[in-house]
């Protein structure tokens, strides 16, 4: 499971790296345009930059959910759980993980429906006119992987195993 969530997070990281690279090039082009404008030389920014960044950011953001869940990188109310008996903490983990599994599956279902509707409606990005629906599917995969991680963690909590896998 660790290898799978790390791999998926790396895809998100690659999307973020591409966003940073595109932004650096775009800012450099815009700066060059400001400097060279006095000599009637125009340097345009990246055509469709906003479209590409919006699509890549949507993929990247959701790609980190499974890793965050696997490592326990979520909000926990330690003030109430830490001083309570161990069984209360375990019950809390089981309920929280089970609810998270349900929420992730719910989101995956509705994202898939959204992707199909966006495809049917023929929605495209504003500048490049790229179809938007293919960029929904990595989000669906992220939600399904998140649900799988939460389900495994639910089973682990039922067996009394530690909830966090790696540094939080």
Q: pLDDT tens for residues 61-106?
A: 999 999 999 988 766 666 667 777 888 878 888 898 999 999 999 9
Asked whether residue 140 carries a pLDDT value surpassing 90, the answer given is yes
Query: What does DSSP assign to residue 71?
Result: T
Distance CA 112, CA 107 (A): 8
Alpha-carbon gap, residue 125 to 48, rounded angstroms: 9
* Mean of all residue pLDDT scores within the chain: 90
17-38: per-residue pLDDT in tens?
999 999 999 999 999 989 989 8
Integer Cα distance of 54 and 141 in angstroms: 18
CA angle 71, 75, 77 (to 5 degrees): 120
CA distance 52 to 144: 24
Distance CA 68, CA 138 (A): 17
pLDDT interval class at 131 (50, 70, 90): very high
- CA pair distance 87, 45, nearest whole angstrom: 58
Q: How far apart are CA 133 and CA 123, in angstroms?
A: 8
- CB neighbours of 45 closer than 8 A, spacing ≥ 6? 26, 29, 30, 33
- The mean pLDDT value for 120-140 works out to 95
Section 135-142 average pLDDT: 96
The pLDDT confidence band at residue 168, using thresholds 50, 70 and 90, is very low
């Amino acid at each position: 499971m660790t290898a799978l969530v790390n791999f998926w997070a790396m895809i998100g990281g690659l999307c973020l790296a591409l966003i940073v690279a595109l932004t650096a090039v775009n800012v450099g082009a815009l700066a060059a345009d400001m400097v060279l404008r006095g000599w009637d030389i125009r340097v345009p920014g990246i055509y469709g930059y906003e479209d590409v960044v919006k699509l890549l950011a949507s993929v990247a953001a959701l790609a980190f959910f499974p890793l965050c869940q696997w490592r326990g990188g979520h909000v926990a109310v330690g003030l109430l759980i830490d001083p309570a008996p161990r069984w209360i903490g375990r019950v809390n983990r089981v309920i929280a993980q089970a609810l998270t599994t349900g929420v992730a599956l719910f989101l995956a279902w509705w994202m898939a429906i959204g992707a199909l509707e966006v495809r049917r409606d023929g929605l495209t990005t504003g500048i490049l006119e790229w179809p938007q629906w293919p960029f929904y599917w990595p989000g669906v995969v992220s939600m399904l992987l998140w649900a799988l991680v939460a389900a495994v963690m639910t089973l682990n909590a039922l067996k009394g195993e530690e909830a966090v896998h790696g540094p939080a």
